[in-house]
Amino acid sequence: MAIEIKRYAAGSATEWDEFLTASKNGTFLLQRGFMDYHADRFQDHSLMIHEDGKLLAVLPANADGTALNSHGGLTYGGVISGTKMSAERMLMVFDALAAYLRPAGFTEVNYKAIPYIYHRQPADEDIYALFRQGAQVVRTDVSATIAVPHRLPFGSGKKDGLRKARKAGLEIRESTDWSACWALLSQVLDDRHKARPVHSEAEIRLLAGRFPDRVRLFGAFDGDQMISALVIFDCGQTVHVQYIASSDLGRQKGGVDMIVHHLLDTVFTGRTWFDFGISTTDQGRELNTGLAKQKEMFGARSTVYQQYRWQLT
């Protein structure tokens, strides 16, 4: 088996996306239309991996000096493989990657593994290959994930919030009012963390336009006023909560609690995982216990997002 590594070029976007759609572990966040929205911030150095002339795997990545990052602008993005990928083939892929990267001047790979909840078929061959190459875990973040078909009941606090929302007559509906959502979100992040959303309003509008069935906004409305909102990245079997925002009125009336209940009970009943995202800071070393507890009260339990450093020297 001959493994060949080629750098991605814009003319291969269709081939990349078609492969990703049929892969074991790719999501729409790794399609070129999503990755390239912030192409001006990263020096793309994505790789396409062929076996005997046929595409076997891809690696979304960017160059940062002598480091190859997979990918600096994404939460995850390791080797995305097709159904023919085996443990033996992956060992060969990593040998071929080393043979490609060292002469190109790279001294290390910072690798963001794709969590298993995004796998359509088991796809941890890369974790074994990293171990064989001597890579070390350098970051572990804790996310909170609900197993939708076997979900645990809401905690008492979330049940109370749901009762308040129903009593207040809140209405949950899907929306395209990104301005209202971003006003809520920006205020919450500024008040609590002196921070801004990762995406600007213009960027989220761009992504929602490119992926209207994947980037979705659900709001809790008091009359015509959006008082709470969840931004969802719909990755198929796994639904990821990208942003949660709520006004003071939304918190008083249980807006977020009602949205989550509606999504689990009505919109995403046939899915496997509902992931709230990480509750850690400082490269995973600090757990925001209050935030983690809030997510766990919805019936979520821990999933880890791990990053590895593979020294090529």
Tell me the per-residue pLDDT of 266-313, one tens digit each, with 9 for 90 and over. Answer: 999 999 999 999 999 999 999 999 999 999 999 999 999 999 999 998
- CA trace torsion 262, 263, 264, 267 (10° rounding): 110
Task: Read off the pTM.
Answer: 0.94
pLDDT at 1: 66
Report domain extents, the chain: 3-134, 145-304
Q: Which tokens hold the place of 191?
A: 């008040």
Give Cα 186 to chain centroid, integer Å.
Answer: 20
Query: What confidence category does residue 182 fall into, taking pLDDT thresholds of 50, 70 and 90?
Result: very high
Q: Which residue has the tokens 């995406």?
A: 199
Q: Which residue has the tokens 């709470």?
A: 228
pLDDT at 180: 96
pLDDT at 307: 98
| Segments of 211-300 assigned E as strands | 215-222, 225-234, 238-246, 273-278, 280-281, 286-287
pLDDT in tens, 20-62: 999 999 999 999 999 998 888 899 999 999 999 999 999 999 9
Out of 66-75, 76-85, 185-194, pick the least confident: 185-194
* pLDDT tops 80 at residue 190: no
Domain 145-304 sits in which CATH superfamily? Gcn5-related N-acetyltransferase (GNAT) (3.40.630.30)
- DSSP code, position 279: -
Domain 3-134 sits in which CATH superfamily? Gcn5-related N-acetyltransferase (GNAT) (3.40.630.30)
Query: What confidence category does residue 187 fall into, taking pLDDT thresholds of 50, 70 and 90?
Result: confident
- DSSP code, position 27: -
Q: Do 3-134 and 145-304 come out as alike in CATH topology?
A: yes
Query: Of 311, 310, 307, 309, which is closest to residue 284 (Cα–Cα)?
Result: 307
Query: What confidence category does residue 103 fall into, taking pLDDT thresholds of 50, 70 and 90?
Result: very high
Measured CA to CA, the distance from residue 160 to residue 154 in angstroms comes to 10
pLDDT at 224: 95
- CA trace torsion 196, 197, 203, 208 (10° rounding): -160
